[in-house]
């Protein structure tokens, strides 16, 4: 019995390791994301940070759901903050999350005006999360966030919970 348990543990460990380094699946996900981005999809939009985030922000918030024949393919959340602009994108294949992308651009500080220039931004951070069967199989993070915490410890559960909340909001918009 002890050896059977050890064998099962070893098999799951090897399969998890393989899933973490499966370049073919990453390539498939990239192709799917590219296809979704180039399709003509119908859009549902919700505006207002209070409704979307549960709190108000200095800027605005817009949540968009992109649908193909009533099947959700993509969610985009844009949030304006006092010194930054955050954009999160979530991509779906057959109802399952396959890719999440988060970026933050910061408004450039104008030393002469002693204020932020809300017409100029600098890119601060990019985060890419690749999913397979509700598990993160690859994470790429570059840069650092100014307005939010850089999501280095974000888990699949965190991202899937965010998506579920946004999906529920979009479904109530129907």
**What is the distance between the alpha carbons of residues 149 and 102, in angstroms, rounded to a whole number?**
12
The pLDDT assigned to 18 comes to 43
The answer to whether 171 touches 71, Cβ cutoff 8 Å, is: no
Would residue 17 count as lying in a domain?
Answer: no
Q: Kindly tell me the sign of the dihedral angle through the C-alpha atoms of 131, 135, 136, 138.
A: negative
Considering only residues 114 and 33, tell me which one the structure prediction assigns the higher pLDDT.
33
Which residue is listed with tokens 């204020």?
A: 115
List pLDDT tens digits, range 10-30: 444 444 444 455 889 999 999
- Report yes or no on 9 lying in a domain: no
Closest C-alpha among 35, 159, 136 to residue 167: 159
What is the average pLDDT across 140-163? 80
Scan for tokens 């294949």, then name that residue. 93
β-sheet bridge partners, residue 75: 65, 90
Indicate if the pLDDT at residue 4 is higher than 50.
Answer: no
Asked, for residue 114, whether it belongs to a domain, the answer is yes
Number of domains within the chain? 1
Q: Which tokens belong to 88?
A: 């999160």
Is 115 contained in some domain?
Answer: yes
In-domain check, residue 6: no
Q: Is residue 130 part of a domain?
A: yes
- DSSP class of 153: T
Summarised one tens digit per residue, pLDDT across range 17-72 is 444 558 899 999 999 999 999 999 999 998 876 677 766 666 788 999 999 999 99
- Enclosing domain of residue 85: 23-172
Neighbours of 173 (CB within 10 A): 12
Residue with tokens 């380094």: 21
Report residue 1's pLDDT band, with 50, 70 and 90 as the boundaries.
Answer: very low
| Residue at 15 is within a domain | no
Phi, psi of 128 (to 5 degrees): -125, 130
Overall average pLDDT of the 73-89 stretch: 90
Is 126 within 8 Å of 151 (Cβ atoms)? Answer: no
Q: Establish if 14 belongs to a structural domain.
A: no
Distance of CA 56 to the CA centre of its chain: 20
């Amino acid at each position: 019995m002890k050896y059977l348990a050890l064998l099962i543990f070893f098999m799951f460990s090897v399969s998890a390791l393989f899933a973490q380094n499966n370049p073919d699946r990453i390539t498939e996900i990239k192709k799917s994301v590219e296809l979704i981005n180039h399709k003509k999809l119908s859009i549902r939009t919700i505006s207002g940070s209070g409704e979307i985030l549960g709190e108000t922000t200095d800027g605005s918030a817009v949540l968009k759901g992109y649908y193909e024949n009533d099947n959700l393919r993509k969610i985009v959340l844009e949030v304006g903050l006092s010194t930054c602009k955050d954009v999160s994108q979530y991509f779906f294949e057959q109802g399952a999350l396959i890719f999440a992308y988060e970026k933050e651009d910061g408004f450039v500080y104008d030393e002469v005006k002693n204020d932020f220039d809300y017409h100029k931004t600098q890119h601060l951070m990019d985060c890419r999360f690749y999913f397979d069967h509700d598990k993160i199989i690859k994470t790429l993070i570059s840069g650092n966030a100014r307005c939010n915490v850089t999501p280095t410890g974000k888990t699949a559960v965190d991202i899937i919970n965010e998506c579920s909340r946004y999906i529920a909001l979009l479904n109530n918009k129907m």
